[in-house]
């Protein structure tokens, strides 16, 4: 039983003994910094059960707790708040218990527990990954790692959108204008090469539309009759018919893109356990629609189309199969979800990392899967996130003005380098060492800036602001970690033995309190699917450490025990920073 649980139980016992009343719950919170104390009992909610003056009630409960809870040494009451002072030894004992824990805060998954499948990234194979994909990948990866740390099995997956008219547009443009270009012959990453032809298609398409309008066509006619679009549509028909040459070209160009994606994923530090391809899944779901028709989940209209009536749930009727028997995206998503559980029978739920533009789609998908009677459908979540904009505005991939993920990563490293040079933080480093640190700082700045924001909110991403060495930024936290490592290297004495019988400075106690809640922070972040909880906890820990560092002498401590303890405390704070940042996919440099 934790100390908080003990206090809650003893407060209930106090109310029963002192007032002959039963209290269902007790509200506890951290004591505000301006008051003496560590844990505060909020008295006001008790007034529904116990009539009287809240200050007097607080005094009575405080006296009872001092008598019955060994760890409580004193109390004070401010209005309706009972502030409890916890003995230093409690915090020292706790610290000694976690000092050498290798994975403090993490829970080991049980073999018998159900797994969670988490989908993220899911790009199109007609263009490289961009800034929006960066948020998706960082968010999906971090949530997967956090859920694993909370004690659940996680499978990381993605579905690659590798078919459709948009893919054929790149293929047609490459055939017409590529002159046999390959990643090897051009020196371009495969995803960039293919993306260039997607942009080229759009340019030619617009040019042909203008020519057709000039010849007397309406704009609507011109858009439909542009020759290059008709070629792409014909190519799609051939692909669906299994035309050997078209399928061969499709495989070749997609292989270029996959190789390019893999490079970007490696640089970003994200990975996957499995891949699904739309070219394999686009026919899934039709059998499930037939089953749903038989069971009454779906109904057929006069034209032969199949629908699901969701009006009782506050939505509308949703098309799941066209009148000609062809599938819609919803059909595929139903079939793919069911297929994933067939492939991994231990799945007990799924999380889809997809932008908030698809909120309605996932509401419908989850409702339909529930109606079809799948038990795991009760544990489906849409990890909905807001768009990422730059100060210059939104991104448009067709026009080639997209913020390329690879270019952004390089820019972040360069920005980190410029700022580090100005601050003179890497004197004495070789050029290779400097570049490695710049990369770690730049990528850390990008990841932290994106992940510290609640997923549901939009982000205005400013690369320069994100690399600031002050404030709530990745580099500020990384620099504090490096400072701690310098302290540990400087400690040329034995500092691993536990220390006892020392008085804690208020700054030391504040740090231990923050360390104490790290396991709870991980659980909360997993529950809310929010890496921002981890990020902002880490910032609070770092702020508290820097306050400790500036106000409490480590190597000039009054006693050897105090000096040893302060080095140990620094070490555990550093390990917790590293642990939390690892959950976010952010590296920490040993020197800066």
Q: 67 versus 404: which is more confidently predicted?
A: 67
Question: Whole-angstrom Cα distance, residue 576 to residue 515?
Answer: 8
pLDDT tens for each residue of 294-304? 999 999 999 99
- At 49, give phi and psi (nearest 5°): -110, -40
Predicted confidence (pLDDT) at residue 399 exceeds the cutoff of 60: no
> How would you classify the pairing of strands 306-309 and 317-321?
antiparallel
pLDDT > 70 fraction of the chain, expressed in percent and rounded: 98
Check: CB of residue 108 under 8 Å from CB of residue 150: no
Predicted confidence (pLDDT) at residue 153 exceeds the cutoff of 70: yes
Q: 577 versus 495: which is more confidently predicted?
A: 577
Q: Looking at the structure, do residues 44 and 193 belong to the same domain, yes or no? A: no
Cα angle at 299 between 296 and 300, to 5 degrees? Answer: 145
Q: Which of 143, 139, 156 is nearest to 446 (CA)?
A: 139
Q: In whole angstroms, how far apart are CA 263 and each of 30, 122, 190, 194, 269?
A: 46, 15, 10, 15, 10
Predicted confidence (pLDDT) at residue 426 exceeds the cutoff of 80: no
In a domain, 575, yes or no: yes
pLDDT, position 555: 94
Predicted confidence (pLDDT) at residue 401 exceeds the cutoff of 70: no
Question: Whole-angstrom Cα distance, residue 12 to residue 381?
Answer: 37
pLDDT, position 403: 81
pTM: 0.92
> How would you classify the pairing of strands 299-300 and 459-460?
unpaired
In a domain, 159, yes or no: no
Q: Looking at the structure, do residues 171 and 272 belong to the same domain, yes or no? A: yes
Predicted confidence (pLDDT) at residue 427 exceeds the cutoff of 80: no
* Mean pLDDT of all residues in 412-438: 84
Q: Looking at the structure, do residues 176 and 50 belong to the same domain, yes or no? A: no
At residue 492 the predicted structure's pLDDT band, cuts being 50, 70 and 90, is confident
pLDDT tens for each residue of 270-294? 999 999 999 999 989 999 999 999 9
Check: CB of residue 259 under 8 Å from CB of residue 190: yes
SS3 sequence of 33-47: CCCCCCEEEECHHHH
In a domain, 72, yes or no: yes
Q: In whole angstroms, how far apart are CA 85 and each of 412, 421, 502?
A: 46, 47, 17
SS3 sequence of 178-245: CCCCCHHHHCCCHHHHHHHHHHHHHHHHHHHHHHHHHCCCCHHHHHHHCHHHHHHHHHHHHHHCCCHH
In a domain, 373, yes or no: no
pLDDT, position 495: 76
pLDDT, position 392: 67
Question: Whole-angstrom Cα distance, residue 76 to residue 81?
Answer: 8
Q: Provide the residue range defining the domain that includes 52.
A: 3-86
Q: Looking at the structure, do residues 82 and 168 belong to the same domain, yes or no? A: no
pLDDT > 90 fraction of the chain, expressed in percent and rounded: 86
* Mean pLDDT of all residues in 445-459: 95
Q: Looking at the structure, do residues 56 and 171 belong to the same domain, yes or no? A: no
pLDDT, position 468: 87
Q: In whole angstroms, how far apart are CA 177 and each of 156, 160, 263?
A: 38, 26, 26
CA 496 to chain centre: 35
Q: Looking at the structure, do residues 179 and 53 belong to the same domain, yes or no? A: no
Q: Looking at the structure, do residues 426 and 551 belong to the same domain, yes or no? A: yes
Token pair for 549 = 């560092």
The chain-wide mean pLDDT, for the chain, equals 94
CATH number at residue 67: 3.30.1360.70
In a domain, 363, yes or no: no
Residue that is last in its domain, among 56, 86, 116: 86
Predicted confidence (pLDDT) at residue 389 exceeds the cutoff of 50: yes
Check: CB of residue 270 under 8 Å from CB of residue 138: yes
Residue that is last in its domain, among 253, 279, 305: 279
In a domain, 390, yes or no: no
Q: Looking at the structure, do residues 78 and 174 belong to the same domain, yes or no? A: no
pLDDT, position 463: 82
Residue that is last in its domain, among 279, 296, 328: 279
CATH number at residue 549: 1.10.730.10
Predicted confidence (pLDDT) at residue 396 exceeds the cutoff of 80: no
In a domain, 23, yes or no: yes
Token pair for 437 = 């640190």
pLDDT tens for each residue of 189-222? 999 999 999 999 999 999 999 999 999 999 999 9
pLDDT, position 8: 97
pLDDT, position 418: 85
* Mean pLDDT of all residues in 39-68: 96
Alpha helices in 461-502 (DSSP H): 463-466, 474-490
Q: Looking at the structure, do residues 430 and 579 belong to the same domain, yes or no? A: yes
Q: Looking at the structure, do residues 82 and 174 belong to the same domain, yes or no? A: no
pLDDT tens for each residue of 71-127? 999 999 999 999 999 999 999 999 999 999 999 999 999 888 999 999 999 999 999
Q: Looking at the structure, do residues 80 and 187 belong to the same domain, yes or no? A: no
pLDDT tens for each residue of 562-581? 999 999 999 999 999 999 99
Predicted confidence (pLDDT) at residue 398 exceeds the cutoff of 50: no
At residue 368 the predicted structure's pLDDT band, cuts being 50, 70 and 90, is very high
In a domain, 544, yes or no: yes
Total number of domains in the chain: 3
Q: Looking at the structure, do residues 201 and 63 belong to the same domain, yes or no? A: no
pLDDT tens for each residue of 553-563? 999 999 999 99
pLDDT, position 402: 66
pLDDT, position 493: 79
């Amino acid at each position: 039983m934790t100390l908080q649980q003990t206090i809650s139980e003893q407060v209930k016992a106090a109310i029963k003994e002192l007032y002959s009343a039963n209290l269902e719950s007790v509200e506890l919170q951290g004591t505000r910094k301006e008051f003496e104390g560590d844990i505060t009992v909020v008295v006001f909610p008790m007034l529904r059960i116990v009539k009287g003056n809240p200050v007097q009630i607080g005094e009575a409960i405080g006296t009872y707790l001092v008598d019955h809870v060994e760890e409580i040494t004193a109390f004070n009451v401010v209005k309706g708040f009972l502030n409890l002072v916890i003995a230093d030894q409690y915090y020292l004992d706790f610290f000694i218990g976690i000092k050498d824990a290798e994975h403090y805060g993490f829970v080991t998954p049980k073999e018998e527990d159900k797994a969670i499948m988490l989908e993220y990234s899911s790009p199109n194979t007609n263009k490289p990954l961009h800034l929006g994909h960066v948020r998706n990948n960082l968010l999906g990866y971090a949530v997967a790692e956090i859920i694993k740390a909370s004690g659940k099995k996680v499978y990381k997956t993605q579905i690659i959108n590798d078919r459709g008219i948009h893919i054929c547009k790149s293929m047609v443009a490459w055939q017409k204008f590529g002159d046999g270009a390959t990643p090897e012959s051009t020196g371009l990453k495969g995803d960039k090469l293919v993306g260039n032809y997607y942009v080229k298609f759009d340019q030619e398409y617009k040019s042909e539309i203008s020519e057709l309008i000039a010849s007397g066509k309406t704009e609507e006619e011109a858009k439909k009759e542009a020759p290059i679009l008709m070629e792409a549509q014909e190519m799609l028909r051939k692909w669906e018919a299994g035309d050997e040459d078209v399928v061969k070209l499709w495989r070749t160009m997609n292989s270029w893109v996959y190789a390019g994606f893999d490079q970007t994923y490696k640089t970003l530090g994200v990975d996957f356990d499995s891949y699904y391809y739309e070219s394999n899944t686009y026919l899934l779901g039709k059998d499930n629609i037939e089953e749903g028709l038989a069971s009454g989940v779906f109904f057929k209209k006069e034209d032969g189309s199949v629908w699901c009536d969701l009006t009782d749930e506050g939505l509308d009727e949703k098309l799941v199969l066209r009148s000609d028997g062809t599938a819609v995206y919803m059909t595929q998503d139903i079939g793919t979800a069911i297929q994933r559980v067939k492939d991994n029978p231990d799945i007990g739920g799924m999380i889809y990392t997809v932008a908030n533009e698809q909120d309605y789609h996932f509401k419908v998908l989850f409702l339909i899967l529930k109606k079809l009677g799948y038990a795991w459908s009760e544990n489906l979540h849409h990890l909905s996130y807001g768009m990422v904009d730059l100060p210059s505005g939104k991104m448009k991939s067709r026009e080639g003005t997209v913020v390329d993920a690879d270019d952004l990563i390089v820019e972040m490293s360069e920005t980190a380098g410029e700022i580090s040079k100005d601050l003179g933080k890497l004197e004495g480093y070789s050029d290779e060492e400097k570049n490695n640190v710049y990369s770690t700082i730049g990528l850390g700045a990008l990841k932290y800036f994106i992940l510290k924001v609640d997923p549901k909110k939009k982000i205005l991403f400013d690369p320069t602001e994100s690399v600031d060495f002050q404030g709530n930024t990745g580099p500020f936290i990384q620099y504090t970690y490096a400072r701690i490592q310098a302290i540990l290297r400087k400690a040329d004495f034995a500092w691993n033995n536990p220390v006892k019988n020392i008085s804690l400075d208020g700054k030391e106690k504040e740090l231990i309190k923050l360390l104490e809640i790290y396991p709870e922070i991980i659980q909360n972040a997993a529950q809310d699917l929010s890496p921002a909880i981890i990020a902002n906890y880490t910032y609070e820990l770092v702020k508290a450490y820097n306050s400790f560092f500036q106000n409490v002498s480590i190597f000039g401590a009054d006693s050897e025990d105090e000096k040893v303890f302060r080095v140990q405390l620094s070490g555990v704070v550093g390990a917790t920073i590293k642990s939390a940042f690892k959950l976010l996919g952010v590296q920490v440099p040993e020197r800066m």
